Structure 1
């Protein structure tokens, strides 16, 4: 395997270890030493990939965002015969992270959101990830001929899906209630169309 490919694979492996730790206990206690132990690599291997904890966290957040967007895009391309409305619904459900199998990723995402409040670098990465999701929603809304202005409706939908993630994780809503809220909102996008 070429050295650059090996290096990137190691960085992703370390990022996956950060995610497992963040899922278990948040990001506050994640140290380079803990990550090395969890990734089953030496401390030196972690330090060769990331000079600082902040670099490691930034890479991990970008990695998590890429995985989420890839999952949403894969869902779209795996069913090319679906309508634009159903594609939007499937994508919104993927972004909301409310399904049981997405629970771990939702905990990791929220750990990063909390950390971004005090980390300008992570905040910038989150803004980029939210921007990508919003653009994806806006494109799907335009294609589906929603009743409102696609960019505005995309902002609303992104805020809703993000809020549902939090409310399910803290137990304010159960999965069925979250699905109902999302489905009601999606149906409302075409009531006036």
Structure 2
């Protein structure tokens, strides 16, 4: 009796191969042939599951989102029920930053996909919806007025820190210090959190 093929498992195998190629060589190196070679399957098999490169990219990003969501969920569950908003935000953003080998690999693929989607509006459609939902969620945790604008700024900081971490411009300690400083500003401005004494100690000499 022929072995039943798990379509999702096979597509995930191919998506994982795509992500390894993209992480090592950049998105320009991604092709049906290169992905097939990396996955150890034929080009025909890749084409059977993905008709175009865009389809492969969209599925690979869905895999990255699933992995990222799993990391965030695991980190947040560890906080217990009803954690303080600042702690919840810090934990969530820390889980989203590329601070581990696994998250760095996913982050390199996500960054490559952003560049790829920048000139392909159709490919960016899913990202746009994800961004709106994330901004709305973060805004719901922030005190005071202009919560949506401040949430957008906080997430923009997260994206910038992610790029600096991937590029080696920032260490993990530097990125987390910058995140803590911004969270202090966001919550202290609204009078929702006391000043933390360790923030001043982290500021470079000569700065107020």
State the TM-score, normalizing by the size of structure 1.
0.86
Contact kept, 8 Å, 1:106 with 1:169, in 2: the verdict is yes
Q: Which residue of 2 aligns with 1:47?
A: 47
How many correspondences in the alignment? Answer: 186
How much has 1:35 moved relative to structure 2? 0.9
SS at match of 2:119: coil
Q: Which residue of 2 aligns with 1:168?
A: 165
Gaps of 5+ in 2: 193-208
Moved more, 62-71 or 151-160: 62-71
SS at match of 1:184: helix
* Aligned pairs (5 A) from 1:14-163: 14-81=14-81, 82-97=83-98, 99-101=99-101, 102-139=103-140, 141-142=141-142, 146-163=143-160
Contact kept, 8 Å, 1:12 with 1:63, in 2: the verdict is yes
CA gap 1:119/1:64 in 2 versus in 1, 3 angstroms: same
**Between Structure 1 and Structure 2, whose CA radius of gyration is higher?**
2
Gaps of 5+ in 1: none
Contact kept, 8 Å, 1:137 with 1:154, in 2: the verdict is yes
How much has 1:114 moved relative to structure 2? 1.0
State the TM-score, normalizing by the size of structure 2.
0.80
SS at match of 1:106: helix
Distance 1:168 1:176 in 2: 10
1:52-90 Cα distance to aligned partner (Å, 9 max, x none): 111111111222123222321232223324433211111
